[in-house]
Structure 1
Amino acid sequence: MKIRAAVLHQMGLERPYTDSKPLTVGELELEPPRAGEVLVKIRAAGLCHSDLSVIDGNRPRQMPMVLGHEAAGEVVELGPNVHDLAVGDHVVFSFVPICGHCMPCMTGRPALCENGVAANNRGELLGGGFRLKDRDGRPVHHHMGVSGFAEYTVVSRKSIVRIDPALPFDIAALFGCAVMTGVGAVINTARLSLGQTVLITGMGGIGFAALLGALAGGAGRIIVADVNPSKLEKALELGAHAVVNPSDENAVEQVKDLTNGGVDIGFEFAGVVPALEFTYNATGRGGKTVTAGLPHPSKFMQLAPVRLVAEERTLQGSYIGSCIPARDIPAYIGLYQAGRLPVDRLMTHRIQLDDINEGFERLAKGEAIRQIITF
């Protein structure tokens, strides 16, 4: 079938993206689903900083590629051997397809699925190969097994989670990355305990979702750090107890003064090494620093190992919030529906597919939290 989709042909084009237009919206050919796959009509897709990191070259991927990994949609066709879904089901995408039989999957850590990550790195689906082609019949790569910036997509059954159809698609899309990653980092990776103090650095969609997750999880005091004053103001509006600009010369001391020596848990979502170093230094003795940021692979952090030992510190990564998507996405949706996780307040813009380059320029400027493309 023929579909419209946003294709990235070259990484690292100069900004502003409103001029260079890295994403080209055009017609592609989409093959029908194979065994174990599903055809989904995309209803909503979010613009995430991880997509931006591919566009600017900080997260190198195979080209050309249909981007988009945070999305929700409606099942329109089932491939052979898919028996646990029905046409018309509403689904949220998980950007790590979960094979279920590699060692991480079998030991309860599907976010590290070896086969899923390998397929994502190749720009293929979990079952291998491509389902997208350009007008000349050349293959187009899949982004994270999803490729959500398109009218329709074919995905592995293991890349989607069925959800409550009462949830609007534009809100549902947020649970595919921002909520799963941010809330999951707080609940699953850091295992926040009631009353613990928290620092969150880097207030994009994931950082704000982590703020909501820390509030829902019973954090005693939440400090937010960002260089953008408008985002600090928004954090206070959503419930943060204090804010800090990490570019201030005494920013670490400010956090320590607010928490009697440093926070119990520091979260870093900015994706730049100085932000991680700041967060680590503002975490107290015996504390835990969790990062879900993705700096360029060439970047490194300086660390004094003696502090890890003498202060019993922990520095830990978090990928897709250490989530089990089939378990956590419905649970987080339930919290939203109960009024305890108001993620709808993270949406700042609703746009059309043709406006996608303008949307990514807005994201790069820090002028948006979550922008949702609706179809």
Structure 2
Amino acid sequence: MYAVLFSGNAGEVEFAEVDLDGPGPGEVRVQIAATGVCHSDLHIIRNEWTLPVPMVLGHEGSGIVTELGAGVTELEVGDHVVLSWVAPCNECRYCKSGHIARCTVAMNLVAPGGVLYDGTSRLHRGGERIYHYQGVSSFAEEAIVPASGAIRVRKDAPLDVLCLVGCAIATGVGAVTNTAKVEKGATVAVIGCGGVGLSVVQGARMAGAERIVAIDVQPHKTELARTLGATEEIDASAGDPVAALRESLPDGADYVFDAIGKIATTEQAIAMLGMGGAAVVVGLPAAGAKASFEPLALAEADQRILGSNYGSVRPAIDFPALVDQYMNGELKIDELVSARRPLAEAGAALDELATGASLRTLLIPGRSQR
């Protein structure tokens, strides 16, 4: 069974039976253990990103390898894996230079998306093609993915919560460590304390930031941020968050992470910067959205605006390291899980996410209805 978006204008996913072909060369079949519900899925449902439908959504998954396609030697049946929506080709100039998240071949799976590397789909219903989402499509009981996008991790870690490593954790922590390279003693502000923003908070804590300001319109989220490493919090619903930040940090912040991706929050991030500061755009906006800033002020203050795609992740290196940090207690993941639901409740989980009340809901294939 799969959660399928049949129409880009319907705004809902349907729980349906879909046929799944076997893995082709360089691909593997994965039995999904859990998949997280992410705002990127909402962009598709809201028709803010143009992708082909019908499509099986989901890009934050974990599972067990059950079948190998021809030529796959780096994985074995029974391996526990976290799925990466950047499945690197390992041959383009970006892969060879270590900038895996920029892989030009992998980006063809993401936008315009809908197919695997050979240009075809493994999903169909009768004679109707069903498209893949970001080469993953984890709102499913099983998925066929490129082998380079299935990252082996240790088997003693709880496989369900590890799905969050595949997007929220890697994106947030990676934005701090890989993209911005936050140094010890820095001052950091994080706009938006959902799954990604809270991962940014943790990344800043692990990097040794001296002050970490958590900003959100939901007080319970900033309170949770405190437990994960934030040193102070700002209720963005109570007034101008830029003014509030300046009261706390008169010189502005060294790094401001926009973990929401709205025009207003990106512009706020730039306005919160101190001399030499960097605004890091982590949250993804609707296609075509444009923010504004004053270039002269940016240049005179020696500031930067950085885009962070997937936390500039190196999946084969970063995923196992993040799992190790979780297992040794340095990185908190369980705290980001707000609920567990059966796969059939994908639509309800997406509706809940849209309200801003939830963090990460895990969809568990085969979980009984409660």
Q: TM-score, normalised by structure 2?
A: 0.96
Q: How does 1:238-257 map to 2 (within 5 A)?
A: 238-257=228-247
Partner of 1:84: 74
Once the 2 structures are TM-superposed, how far is the Cα of residue 128 of structure 1 from its aligned partner? Answer: 2.4
Cα distance between partner residues in 1 of 2:279 and 2:81: 33
Partner of 2:290: 300
The answer to whether 1:23 aligns with 2:20 is no
Report Cα offsets for 1:15-41 as digits up to 9, x if no partner. Answer: xxxxxxx11111111001111110110
The answer to whether 1:129 aligns with 2:120 is yes
Cα distance between partner residues in 1 of 2:181 and 2:70: 39
The answer to whether 1:104 aligns with 2:101 is no
The answer to whether 1:210 aligns with 2:207 is no
Once the 2 structures are TM-superposed, how far is the Cα of residue 186 of structure 1 from its aligned partner? Answer: 0.6
Once the 2 structures are TM-superposed, how far is the Cα of residue 12 of structure 1 from its aligned partner? Answer: 4.1
Once the 2 structures are TM-superposed, how far is the Cα of residue 183 of structure 1 from its aligned partner? Answer: 0.3
The amino acid that maps onto 2:320 is P
The amino acid that maps onto 1:133 is H
Q: How does 1:305-316 map to 2 (within 5 A)?
A: 305-316=295-306
Report Cα offsets for 1:49-83 as digits up to 9, x if no partner. Answer: 11111111222211110000000000000011011
Q: TM-score, normalised by structure 1?
A: 0.94
Secondary structure of 2:338 counterpart: strand
Once the 2 structures are TM-superposed, how far is the Cα of residue 245 of structure 1 from its aligned partner? Answer: 2.9
Once the 2 structures are TM-superposed, how far is the Cα of residue 229 of structure 1 from its aligned partner? Answer: 2.2
The sequence identity of aligned pairs, in percent, is 37
Cα distance between partner residues in 2 of 1:205 and 1:33: 31
Cα distance between partner residues in 2 of 1:95 and 1:191: 23
Once the 2 structures are TM-superposed, how far is the Cα of residue 175 of structure 1 from its aligned partner? Answer: 0.4
The amino acid that maps onto 2:107 is V
Once the 2 structures are TM-superposed, how far is the Cα of residue 155 of structure 1 from its aligned partner? Answer: 0.8
Q: How does 1:1-375 map to 2 (within 5 A)?
A: 4-13=1-10, 22-121=12-111, 122-134=113-125, 136-375=126-365
Once the 2 structures are TM-superposed, how far is the Cα of residue 289 of structure 1 from its aligned partner? Answer: 0.5
The amino acid that maps onto 1:253 is A
Report Cα offsets for 1:308-365 as digits up to 9, x if no partner. Answer: 2111100010011001100001111111111111111111101001111111111001
- Whether the 8 Å CA contact 1:37–1:78 is kept in 2: the answer is yes
The amino acid that maps onto 2:135 is G
- Whether the 8 Å CA contact 1:47–1:371 is kept in 2: the answer is yes
Count of matched residue positions in the alignment of Structure 1 and Structure 2: 364
Secondary structure of 2:58 counterpart: coil
Structure 2, unaligned runs of 5 or more: 366-370
Partner of 1:17: none
The amino acid that maps onto 1:311 is A
Cα distance between partner residues in 2 of 1:140 and 1:272: 30
Report Cα offsets for 1:198-249 as digits up to 9, x if no partner. Answer: 0000111101111111111111000011112222222223331111133554
- Whether the 8 Å CA contact 2:228–2:332 is kept in 1: the answer is no
Secondary structure of 2:236 counterpart: coil
The amino acid that maps onto 1:132 is L
Structure 1, unaligned runs of 5 or more: 15-21
Secondary structure of 1:284 counterpart: strand
Partner of 1:19: none
Cα distance between partner residues in 2 of 1:240 and 1:96: 29
- Root mean square deviation of aligned Cα: 1.3
Once the 2 structures are TM-superposed, how far is the Cα of residue 120 of structure 1 from its aligned partner? Answer: 2.3
- Whether the 8 Å CA contact 1:264–1:286 is kept in 2: the answer is yes
Cα distance between partner residues in 2 of 1:370 and 1:214: 20
Cα distance between partner residues in 2 of 1:230 and 1:359: 19
Cα distance between partner residues in 1 of 2:74 and 2:104: 24
